[in-house]
Amino acid sequence: MPSVYQRRRETVYDWMAGEGISLAMIEDAEGRRDSGLRWLSGQPGDALLFLSVERKALLVPWDLNIARLHADTDYLRPYSDFDRLPIRAAIKAAAFLKIPRGSRIEIPAVTPYPRFLRFVEALGGDFDVICREEEGLAAALEQFRAVKDDEEIRIIRRASEVTDELIDLLEKQLRAGKLKSEYETAQLIEGECRKRGCDGTGFETLAAGPERSFAIHAFPAYTASSFGSKGLSILDFGVKYLGYTTDVTLTVASSLTRAQERLTSLTERAYKLALGMVRPGVPSLDIAAAVDTFFEKSNKTMPHALGHGIGLDPHEAPALRNRGDNSWILEPGMIITLEPGLYAPRLGGCRLENDVLVTAQGGETLTASRIIRL
């Protein structure tokens, strides 16, 4: 049976054939990260991946030992064979994979123009080098990855289970008065997720106590300031398991004023409104617009998008935002966040975020983030 990576590559090979692309290059390196490489090969990163329309995959990793443990491709060649130069690797990959002269070779969409010219100079005599953003391989991979396959859903379910265990532990510790600061809260997540077999956190944990919760994303991410004390505290975190991350936000509410209670009530109601609209065929823009309209009726404004997809990256397709360029339609297999929030300098902030799987029946909530009232 073909592996999950082989099945994913088959989709890309079919797309390449339809586009007349003989060789495609994907790069996941410092400054030019693309987790599509891991999605197609299993390699955790720091590598080049060359895909031939003849359905062969050549991986050029920086660390050959890691690639031998994790990668699933037809061929492996260490980056050192090409002096760690992407252009030289592309030239030799074209020869190794027997790409006919005159063929189209697509390089990453994020390639800077001066570098693109160097690719053309090195390969243009024999090949048609193209670099596309809106209609190229990067855009196609965004579409393919937006709908998770069974293996991805299985992994994210496990990551969600760990996330829920940590939420329960956090609530228990907060109620017992064992967590006093942003720092202690963030470090608890870091240690406990690794104890449970996770790779680590999916992104830097954002822990903002009552003095700092007015920010969408507090800066710095966490400090020695109090957390869970009188007022509103926000905790935004995710755990990474086998490369896939969750992304949740809970709010800790303690001894709130009437105005702060209103913020939390509106946020909870907005979340329920959004969740109730999740089902296949619904434009994600419609859900985001409905939440914005709901807040506007109470003279409130949410200063960020309603949500986004998650997977190998904390933020990936589909987008859930109230913007004219948002054309995403929900499909079964998409995993999205719903994260309505309101913020005010004098009151603090409140955000509620969970990860939701789109199914044929509607939205299945994978995580159990909530507003914790102390």
Q: Identify which of 210, 227, 248, 256 has the alpha carbon closest to the alpha carbon of residue 373.
A: 256
Q: Can you name the residues that pair with 75 across neighbouring β-strands? A: 58
DSSP assignment of 198-227, as one string?
--EESS--EEE-TTTTTSSS-SSS--SSB-
Maximum alpha-carbon separation in the chain:
72
The pLDDT score that the predictor gives to residue 134 is 87
The Cβ of residue 258 has, within 10 Å, a number of other Cβ atoms equal to 6
The pLDDT score that the predictor gives to residue 159 is 98
Q: Identify which of 213, 215, 148, 143 has the alpha carbon closest to the alpha carbon of residue 185.
A: 213
How many angstroms separate the CA atoms of 338 and 248, rounded?
9
Which residue type does 352 have? Answer: L
Q: For the chain, which residues make up each domain, given as ranges?
A: 4-145, 147-373
* Fold classification of 147-373 (topology level): Creatine Amidinohydrolase (3.90.230)
Q: Which CATH superfamily is domain 4-145 in?
A: Creatinase/prolidase N-terminal domain (3.40.350.10)
Question: What is the Rg, in whole angstroms, of the alpha carbon atoms belonging to the chain?
Answer: 23
The pLDDT score that the predictor gives to residue 31 is 87
Tens digit of each residue's pLDDT, the chain (374 residues): 889 999 999 999 999 999 999 999 999 998 899 999 999 999 999 999 999 999 999 999 999 999 999 999 999 999 999 989 999 999 999 999 999 999 999 999 999 999 999 999 999 899 999 999 889 999 999 999 999 999 999 999 999 999 999 999 999 999 999 999 999 999 999 999 999 999 999 999 999 999 999 999 999 999 999 999 999 999 999 999 999 999 999 999 999 999 999 999 999 999 999 999 999 999 999 999 999 999 999 999 999 999 999 999 999 999 999 999 999 999 999 999 999 999 999 999 999 999 999 999 999 999 999 999 99
Q: Is 134 left (phi over 0), alpha (psi -120 to 50) or beta?
A: alpha
Q: Can you name the residues that pair with 56 across neighbouring β-strands? A: 52
This prediction has a pTM of 0.95
Looking at 130-215, list the stretches that DSSP marks H as alpha helix, in order from N- to C-terminal side. Answer: 137-146, 150-175, 182-195
